[in-house]
Structure 1
Amino acid sequence: MLYFIVLKMKKLPLLLFLVCIPFILQAQKKPEDKKASEKKEFKVDSTKVLTLDKTIKTLYNVISAEKEESRNWKQFKYLFHPDAKLIASGMNTDYEYKAKYLTPAEYIKNSQKWLKMNGFIEKEIHRSVNTFGNIAHVFSTYECYYSKDDKKPFMRGINSIQLFYDEDRWWIINIYWAQETEENAIPKAYLPRN
C-alpha cells in the first residue's frame, strides 16, 4: 500500500512526503497495536523494599485496585523472596481447618481474574511488629472492600507476615493469613484503639 502512495506522490515535493510518512505508517497500524499501546506498563520500584514500613505499605497498595483496574504484579512479585509462600488458612466445606500453600506466581494465577472482576481494596488497620537481628514478624490486621467508596468492609482478618533483611532490602518470606469469623473474632489487642 505504501508503494502506491509513493507513486501518486511523485509530483509532491520530497519534504512534504517525508513529513507525511509517520502519519501514513500510523494509519496502517493494526487495531490490536493501538490496544497494546493503551495498556498500562508497570515497572518495579526498588525503593519500596528499603524499609519494613514501605514493604508492608507496598504489599497493601499493590494488591488493591478498583474493579477492572490492573495491578502491578511485577512489583508484587518483587516483594517476595524467591522461596516465599503465601498461606491461606480457613475452614473447608467439611468444616476442617486447612492451609493452602501458594507461590507468588500461583497466587496471581489463582486470584487476578477475581480481583479485577470484583475490585478489591485491602487496608491495614493495625500493626504489631517484633524484630530480632535481620528477621521480623508483623501481625497486620486488615479490612477488605470492593471499592474505595464502600463504607463497610466485607471481610476482616490478620496477615502474619515474616520478613528478612539482607543488608540491602527487606524480603517477604511468608504471608500466612486467617479471616475473621463469628466464632473467631479479632482480639481487641489487634484492633485500632478508639
Structure 2
Amino acid sequence: MKHLVLVLSFTLCINSIHAQKKDDDTSKNAENPVEFSIDSSRVLTLDKTIKTLYRSISGGKNEKRNWKQFKYLFKPDAKLIPSGINELGQYMVNYMSPDDYIKNSGTWLEENGFIEKEIHREIDAFGNIAHVFSTYEAYLTHDQKTPFMRGINSIQLQFDGKRWWIVNIFWTQETKYNPIPKTYLPNNY
C-alpha cells in the first residue's frame, strides 16, 4: 500500500509518467460512444462548483471522466498545484494547467479507478472571492471501506456575477508526520 501511495502521489502530483490518450471524450466501445457535455448549472453556487470538481475526477476503473466539465470549472490560466515530498525528502510543488492535469493523470485515473470524496469543508469568503479548505479521502473503488489517501485541497475561487470559477487548487496529502488537524476533519473522526 505504501508503494501504491508513493506511485500515485508522484503520478498525480509531480511526474508525467502516464501519457494521456487522445482526448476525444468517447468510450472505448466505438459502437456505443459516450458523449459528455457541459452543465453550466454546476457552477452557479460555490457548493455545486466544489461538488462538480470532485465528481469530475472521480470514477471507478475504466470509467470515463467528463473532462469537458472539469475544464469548464477553471478560469483561463488557472493552476493545479500539488505539493509533496520528493525522493530526496524535499518539499516540492508542481504547477499544472487543467489540460496538464488531464494529460498527466487522466489515463491513470481511468485505468486504475480513483474516487475522491470531500469529508469536511471550511470556507472563507469576502465579496466575490472565496477560499475553501476541502479535506478529502481517496479510494480506488466505490466499495472500498478504508481510504488509501487523505489530504486537503486549498481551493481559491472567484464569482464573476454569474458563476463561480476555480482560480487555483493547491493541495497536499496527509502523511504519518503531517496528519490532518482535527479542525479540518468531521466531528465524528
**Mapping of residues 12-91 of structure 1, within 5 Å:** 35-91=29-85
- The alpha carbon displacement at 1:37 in A equals 4.3
Of structures 1 and 2, the one with the larger relative CO (CA 8 A, separation 6+) is 2
Paired residue secondary structure (1:82): strand
**What is residue 145 of structure 1 aligned with on the other side?**
139
**What is residue 123 of structure 1 aligned with on the other side?**
117
CA distance in structure 1 between the partners assigned to 2:48 and 2:164 by the alignment: 9
Larger Rg: 1
> How far does the alpha carbon of each residue in 1:98-120 deviate from its partner, in whole angstroms, 9 at most, with x for none?
00000000000000111011100
> How far does the alpha carbon of each residue in 1:27-56 deviate from its partner, in whole angstroms, 9 at most, with x for none?
xxxxxxxx4341210000000000000000
CA distance in structure 1 between the partners assigned to 2:157 and 2:147 by the alignment: 27
**What is residue 159 of structure 1 aligned with on the other side?**
153
> How far does the alpha carbon of each residue in 1:81-103 deviate from its partner, in whole angstroms, 9 at most, with x for none?
01100000000111100000000
1:84 to 1:166, Cα distance in 2 relative to 1, 3 A: same
CA distance in structure 1 between the partners assigned to 2:57 and 2:33 by the alignment: 18
More helix by share: 1
TM-score, normalization: structure 1? 0.82
Which amino acid is 1:85 matched to?
A: K
RMSD in angstroms over aligned alpha carbons? 1.1
Gaps of 5+ in 1: 1-34
CA distance in structure 1 between the partners assigned to 2:52 and 2:35 by the alignment: 18
Gaps of 5+ in 2: 1-28
**What is residue 110 of structure 1 aligned with on the other side?**
104
> How many residues are treated as equivalent by the alignment?
161
